[in-house]
A and B are shown apart, each in its own frame.
Chain A
């Protein structure tokens, strides 16, 4: 029997080296005993290790990563299991990537337990401030992990607390950090840690962030197992917090509602905006009323009302269908892809956007959520009918000479006619509230057309816009 004694620190690398040498000599798993510094010597002595053999030794990256974690497990059999797995992998590597293989399953469970213990160390180490004679503050902690994870768990603290000196003492050994490297020492008795006022504040926080009306002790214990409690300053408060909780809830119930302090209604009266149902006189008033519009249900899902924009005294008014995703987020009309196309086409037709009033027939975005996206939906007749209130106000105040209806929804909102658009495009129809309406395509239609049909439609839109410019000139 060959005995390999691994050092207390730097264990994994030592195991890896020894395992590689033994595996290259094809020493079987049963031929090796793996020992820690604290393992008593074998009763029957040990054979010397053979010199490294010449068989190639292969291990996947994935296995080494797993093995590194398993190496921090407290199971004394772990080295032997790892070596056995390494030997088996020399004949068949495929099982290393099979989660259904019983050995891989066992090793993954061990690694998981180690990862969890390391995570709990990162969570439950509590530093106490120590006296320091240098410019750096000094802190110390005592922690009792389930596995020997000191080396695997402490680099985290070096990254997090680089500007202070710290030590973490455990039954397995002590880690000390002075701003440069972590030094590991053999186990020492538990250090005396001085009282620390921040721990009292921490207990105050712990006791007050707890809601006595919702007790879920199982959830607490599954994440903060009792084995860690004895070194946490806050956990000793738990029994009293639990015992007092029913009384606190009952006291709340008994106290009931109290009268508001006298100043409260004065403050809220100043803040609460009364709904304003008066007929607005200006576009600004109309816009601020529309911002709170609940005439149809679209307001609940959409972000905000997207009001018109442009020259309030424009001769030309452009009406689109409804805001899209981008317009809804920005609160501005015609800022999305279709709006950008419209702006370009307007420029080509000699129409400056700030010389027109640009708005939509429906002022709220209509969509269906699909995972992380919102799919645009055409507004219904009812949405158009409800929103016509705002469109009519805008029309009365802007009083354009000509209105351009972009697409079928706008054409319907303005003329009341729902007939197909193709024969009407390029023609002028009377608006319901008077005045001429020139009917043309919506730019979003052009974006959706196949490449062989889009240029013609775009040319038509451009020509219609140019015609509109001429009509109001």
Chain B
């Protein structure tokens, strides 16, 4: 095989990394380069560019190599695929990261890899890259390492010392589908790796009896990704899996990745159009679980099929299915109930609570404060607004659902 240029490798190994939905670079420790080295991190991450698929580029997201000994049907890099293969040397990854970083193109590195030879060998190389960046180059930017599930706990522990975030993908919402589509992977070892990361983070928070603080361990926490639409799991199944993951491993994020056709696809999976609207609804539902006090079954039971309504957002769907709890009196309702009003976001609710102390709130005030009143109208009462029979009217859903032909816009 002819020697590939850095540019060729970058093309192959960024193409291979594009199916990972994760991109965030926020929530880590605050640090900057005034005391040496290069880079800064902390606060909210920065998206340096957006691709036409609507996703942000915050990190240099690449694979160390796309050679892989596993045969996961949904993955372009599986051993049985005929895709072009390439491999970066650790030095090349470090150089690309630093040079892009210096030109203000990225916040840091998101490094994943196909599994070559063994999980330990692969994880060891990834840890080496992170160590070179941190120790040799004093890199203070963000590092996200994808943890190889079967790698030894020692290597995961080392990775946690250099990386801001660790992640291991659950891949599919149900164990049975993972066992079927990724026969070399095992759901229980994936979860055990997540448990190790959680325990590592907790151990790093306990001061020793001398009061010394242990080194930080994955300060930006851990995340995971699951592919949506490659198996038969319903949205309730997916959200229940997420609820288990959030509560069990204190994940910062679960990413949902609409299964998208891959070149040289396995015959096991259809080359379908990715269900982008479903993915979007799942993100909205996930948000409701994390910030609005909803639980998975509540959101999912709005529709008997166990799937989210594609035409309207999950909060609206829940409100329409639970109209007995509305309308809500904006002047008196507690925070928890305000959060359940469609059209009110967490910021709006915060503003309502502050403004309520200053006097009576009217319809126009809510509009100004960012409430989407076109949505909230049927669900609230205000001194100058009562929904009357609107809350219970039969045609309420039709007011919000877009006419069917518009759906094609989201395909």
Residues on A lying within 8 angstroms of B by beta carbon are 94-95, 97-102, 105, 119, 122-129, 137, 139, 141, 156-164, 196, 198-202, 204-220, 223-224, 232, 234-235, 238, 241-242, 245, 249, 252-253, 255-258, 260-261, 263-265, 267-268, 271-272, 291-292, 294, 299-305, 328-331, 367, 369-374
Q: Are A137 and B96 in touch, CB under 8 angstroms?
A: no
Q: Are A272 and B183 in touch, CB under 8 angstroms?
A: yes
The one of A201, A209, A303 that contacts B7, using a Cβ cutoff of 8 Å: A201
| Given A100-B351, A216-B52, A252-B263; 16 other pairs, CB 8 A cutoff | A95-B358, A98-B359, A208-B11, A208-B18, A209-B18, A217-B52, A220-B51, A253-B261, A265-B80, A291-B188, A301-B244, A303-B194, A305-B188, A328-B248, A369-B244, A374-B244
Please measure, in the bound complex, the distance between the C-alpha atom of A372 and the C-alpha atom of B244, giving whole angstroms.
9
Please measure, in the bound complex, the distance between the C-alpha atom of A137 and the C-alpha atom of B80, giving whole angstroms.
46
Is B305 an interface position by the 8 A CB rule? Answer: no
Q: Are A264 and B79 in touch, CB under 8 angstroms?
A: yes
Please measure, in the bound complex, the distance between the C-alpha atom of A127 and the C-alpha atom of B40, giving whole angstroms.
16
Residues on B lying within 8 angstroms of A by beta carbon are 6-7, 10-12, 14-15, 17-19, 32-34, 36-40, 46-57, 60-61, 69-71, 79-82, 96, 99-100, 102-105, 174-175, 183-184, 186-188, 191-192, 194-195, 198-199, 243-244, 246-248, 250, 258, 260-267, 271, 273-274, 276, 295-296, 351, 354-355, 358-359, 361, 365, 368-369
User: How many residue pairs, one in A and one in B, have C-beta atoms under 8 Å apart?
Assistant: 268
Please measure, in the bound complex, the distance between the C-alpha atom of A208 and the C-alpha atom of B79, giving whole angstroms.
21
Q: Are A139 and B48 in touch, CB under 8 angstroms?
A: no
Please measure, in the bound complex, the distance between the C-alpha atom of A371 and the C-alpha atom of B18, giving whole angstroms.
31
Q: Are A205 and B50 in touch, CB under 8 angstroms?
A: no
User: With a CB–CB cut-off of 8 A, which chain B residues contact A258?
Assistant: 81-82, 264
Give me 21 A-to-B residue pairs in the complex whose CB atoms sit less than 8 angstroms apart, sorted by A's number: A99-B355, A105-B369, A123-B48, A123-B49, A198-B103, A202-B100, A204-B11, A208-B10, A208-B12, A211-B260, A214-B276, A218-B54, A223-B56, A255-B264, A261-B79, A261-B80, A268-B71, A300-B174, A301-B244, A372-B246, A372-B247
User: With a CB–CB cut-off of 8 A, which chain A residues contact B82?
Assistant: 258, 260-261
User: With a CB–CB cut-off of 8 A, which chain A residues contact B261?
Assistant: 213, 249, 252-253
Residue of A nearest to B51 (CB): A210
The one of B19, B191, B243, B265 that contacts A303, using a Cβ cutoff of 8 Å: B191
Distance to closest chain B CB from A218 (angstroms): 7
Please measure, in the bound complex, the distance between the C-alpha atom of A292 and the C-alpha atom of B199, giving whole angstroms.
22
User: With a CB–CB cut-off of 8 A, which chain B residues contact A206?
Assistant: 49, 51, 57
User: With a CB–CB cut-off of 8 A, which chain B residues contact A299?
Assistant: 175, 188
Distance to closest chain B CB from A81 (angstroms): 16
The one of B34, B99, B260 that contacts A214, using a Cβ cutoff of 8 Å: B260
The one of A105, A119, A201, A268 that contacts B79, using a Cβ cutoff of 8 Å: A268
Please measure, in the bound complex, the distance between the C-alpha atom of A329 and the C-alpha atom of B54, giving whole angstroms.
37
Q: Are A125 and B104 in touch, CB under 8 angstroms?
A: yes
